[in-house]
Structure 1
Amino acid sequence: MKIILTREVTGLGVPGDIVEVADGYGRNYLVPRGSAINWSKGAEKQITQIRRAQNSREIRGLDHAKEIKAQLEGLSVTLKARAGEGGRLFGSVTQADVADAVKAAGGPTVDKKRVHLPGHIKTTGAHTVTIELHPDVVANVAVTVAGNK
C-alpha cells in the first residue's frame, strides 16, 4: 500500500514522504490516526503544502539554532493557569501551553513537539523547560507559572 506521511513516523519517514507499507499497517493504524493519507495523483499537491509548512517551522542549520537559543534563553516567560490554595494547579501545564507562552512573550514560534517538560508541572513557581532546536542545540527556558484564582 502506498501512502503519504502527514506526521513524522519513527522508522518510516518525515511528513511529505511517499512510502510503501503493509496494507493492514496503513489501513488500520497510520490512516485512522492521521499519520498518513492514501496516495493518489491529487495528493501530490498536498505533499507540497506539507513540505512548505514543515520548512516554515524548520530551523535552518546550526547557526540559526544558536541564534534562536540566545533569543529563547533571554526571554522571561510567564504562564497563567488556574490554581487553588497552596499553589496547586487544576490540571497541569502542557507542551502546547509552553509553546504558546513563548510566542506570547515575544519569542519565536516553537513546535510543541520539541518542548520537553521536567515531568508534570502541577505547581506555581519557576520551572526550567528544555526546547530541542537542533540535534546539537538545546535551549533551557525559565518558565514562571502564575496562578489566578
Structure 2
Amino acid sequence: MDIILLQDVDKVGEKHEVVKVKDGYGRNYLIPQGLALIANKTNMNRLEEMRRQEEAREMKRYDEYKAVADALEDKVLKIGAKAGTSGKIFGSVTNIQISNALKEQFDLEVDRRKVQLPDEVKEVGTYTLVLNLHPEVKPEIKFEVVAE
C-alpha cells in the first residue's frame, strides 16, 4: 500500500514522503492515527499543495531560526553524566539530554529530532553537534560532557 506521510514516522519516512507500507500497518495504524493518507490521485494532487504551504511556513520561520543560531554561536553547552575514574561515562549522551539541556541552560525549545550528535558520546570531553533547524540554517554547537 502506498501512503503519504503527514508527519515524520520513525523507521518509515519523513513528512510529505510517499512510502510503501504493509496494508495492515497503513490501514490499522497510520491512517487512523492521522499520520498518513492513502496515495491516490486526489491526495497526490493535495500533496504538492501541502509541500508548498509547509515550505512557505518554514521560510517565514527562517529569521527565527537564524536568531536562534546567532544566539547559540560561541556558547558551550554543559552536560553532566556519571563517569568512572578513567573518564568513560556510564551509558551515552542522547539527543533527548541535549534538548533538555538547551531548554534549561539557554531557554531554547528544540525538538530532539533536530539534534544531530556525532558518533556515540561515551567519554568526558568536548564535542560538536549540529542542529538541523532549517535546510539553510544548521548551526554547530560545542558541548562539554562533565563528570558528576
TM-score category, normalised to shorter length: 0.5 to 0.7
Instruction: Name the structure 2 match of 1:124.
Output: 124
The C-alpha deviation readout for 1:33-64, integer Å capped at 9, x for no partner, is xxx35179xxxxxxxxxxxxxxxxx7843222
Partner SS state of residue 70, structure 2: helix
Structure 1 residue 25, shift from structure 2 partner: 2.2
Q: How many Å separate the matches in 2 of 1:26 and 1:95?
A: 32
* Correspondent of 2:32 among 38, 50, 54: 38
Q: For the Cα contact (< 8 Å) 2:7–2:15, is it kept in 1? A: no
The C-alpha deviation readout for 1:7-36, integer Å capped at 9, x for no partner, is 31436627xxxx9x87x725236855xxx3
Gapped runs of 5+ residues in structure 1? 41-57
Instruction: Name the structure 1 match of 2:97.
Output: 97
Over 3 Å counting, the alpha-carbon distance change for 1:12 and 1:89 in structure 2 is closer
* Correspondent of 2:22 among 12, 20, 25: 25
Over 3 Å counting, the alpha-carbon distance change for 1:89 and 1:8 in structure 2 is same
TM-score calculated relative to the size of structure 2: 0.66
TM-score calculated relative to the size of structure 1: 0.66
Partner SS state of residue 69, structure 1: helix
Q: How many Å separate the matches in 1 of 2:28 and 2:116?
A: 27
Q: How many Å separate the matches in 2 of 1:144 and 1:104?
A: 15
Over 3 Å counting, the alpha-carbon distance change for 1:113 and 1:146 in structure 2 is same
Partner SS state of residue 98, structure 2: helix
Instruction: Name the structure 2 match of 1:13.
Output: 16
Q: For the Cα contact (< 8 Å) 2:5–2:16, is it kept in 1? A: yes
Partner SS state of residue 128, structure 1: strand
Structure 1 residue 119, shift from structure 2 partner: 0.4
Q: For the Cα contact (< 8 Å) 1:5–1:37, is it kept in 2? A: no
- Report the number of matched residues: 123
Task: Provide the alpha-carbon RMSD of the alignment.
Answer: 3.3
Partner SS state of residue 142, structure 2: strand
Identity of aligned residues (%): 31
Q: Of Structure 1 and Structure 2, which has the larger fraction of its residues in strand? A: 1
Q: How many Å separate the matches in 2 of 1:91 and 1:122?
A: 7
Instruction: Name the structure 2 match of 1:54.
Output: none
